[in-house]
Amino acid sequence: MGEIKPCPFCGSTDIKLHDEISHAVWCQECFAEMPSIDIESAVELWNTRPIEDALNARIAELEEKQRWRVVANGELPEDGEVVWLWDGKYIGMGYYLVFTGQFMDRDIPLRRIKPTHWMPLPEPPEVK
């Protein structure tokens, strides 16, 4: 059995396990209770937070998308994908060519760039 999360209703950490007559997790502050057939199931149900879990997963996904990748680690963009590039001094837009293994400047034709980091461009806003 793992960690027991705070009460989803009042946020209290004063949580008790009842495993004698009924199997339940119980909040000592607001008296919220999660009964089940056994104490492990009660704890699992108590810790289930679908909306919170979905929001945390979405936040993690967005943070992963919008982070700088290190070129030296071999994290490279897709062939021809326009991305933000950082060379330690300047930020600009460019793209990676797989067949040459080089980054190219998006605005100046045939200008090679040696970035240390790159990041995907953000999603454009939706226009209605």
| This prediction's pTM | 0.59
Task: Decide if 10 is inside a domain.
Answer: no
Task: Note the pLDDT tens digit of each residue in 74-126.
Answer: 989 999 999 999 999 999 999 999 999 999 999 888 889 899 999 999 888 99
At residue 60, φ and ψ (nearest 5 deg) are -60, -40
Residue 54 and residue 71 in one domain: no
Are 60 and 86 members of one domain?
Answer: no
> Is the same domain home to 72 and 56?
no
Instruction: Categorize the per-residue pLDDT at 19 as very low, low, confident or very high, splitting at 50, 70 and 90.
Output: confident
Structural domain for 76, as ranges: 67-120
Structure tokens at 90: 């300047």
Structure tokens belonging to residue 31: 């008296």
Q: Other C-beta atoms within 10 Å of 4: how many?
A: 15
